[in-house]
Amino acid sequence: MPKQVDHQERRETIARALWRVVEQRGATHLTLREVAQEAGISLGQLQHYFGSRAKLLAFAMDFAGEQSALRVGRALAVLGERPHPREVVRAMLVEMLPLHADARATSRMSAAYVLEALHDESVHARARGGLLQGRAMVEQVVRQAIADGLVPADRDPVVETDLLLALTGFTTLLELGVVTPAAVLTAVDRHLDGLFAGGA
């Protein structure tokens, strides 16, 4: 009997191959042929799943988002049943930064996706939607922390959310070796200490 192919597993294998191409050789090498070669399959097999570069990139980005969410979920599970909002925000921020291999792959994939989004309206809309959704999650935590008296009531949740997300700008500095992971974590903790200072 011919071997049954797990199509979801094959798609994930292709997505991870795409990540490796971006991580090791950069977005300029992101062609269907290059990804097929990295995945160890024929170009025809890859095109059976993804008919275009844009569709492949969209799936790889969705998969990256799912993996990031799983990592955040695991980090939150370690914190216990009712973690302090400060630790929730910290876990979310840390997983957005390229501080370990999986997060680096996701980060570089995101960078390639943003570059694509600048020149493709459909990719732009999809990327923007994902970022808005992520931002809304952070703002929800901040608003709840203010409502619970854990962050001073005079703090503007919109501004505080923007400032928290600005910390992900450390990505470029980390990737280019301008700052160390330890220095970034110190800065993140200092900012969070200031945000939650004066709360209950």
160 belongs to a structural domain: yes
Quick one: average pLDDT of 5-11? 78
Q: Could you read off the pLDDT of 126-147 as tens digits, one per residue?
A: 889 888 998 999 999 999 999 9
**How many domains does the chain fold into?**
1
For residue 103 the two structure tokens come to: 């997060």
Q: Which domain holds residue 137?
A: 53-196
Q: Give residue 30's identity as a one-letter amino acid code.
A: L
40 belongs to a structural domain: no
9 belongs to a structural domain: no
Q: What is the pLDDT of residue 52?
A: 82
Residues contacting 184, CB < 8 A, separation 6+ = 97, 99, 170, 173, 174
37 belongs to a structural domain: no
Confidence class for position 25, pLDDT limits 50, 70, 90: confident
Write down the residue that tokens 């969705």 correspond to: 62
The CATH code of the domain that includes 124 is 1.10.357.10
28 belongs to a structural domain: no
101 belongs to a structural domain: yes
Confidence class for position 26, pLDDT limits 50, 70, 90: confident
The answer to whether 189 touches 116, Cβ cutoff 8 Å, is: no
48 belongs to a structural domain: no
Q: Could you read off the pLDDT of 152-179 as tens digits, one per residue?
A: 999 999 999 999 999 999 999 999 999 9
88 belongs to a structural domain: yes
Confidence class for position 198, pLDDT limits 50, 70, 90: low
Q: What is the pLDDT of residue 142?
A: 96
Percent of the chain with pLDDT over 90: 42
Q: What is the pLDDT of residue 3?
A: 53
In angstroms, the Cα distances linking 147 to 15, 67, 137, 142 are 41, 30, 15, 9
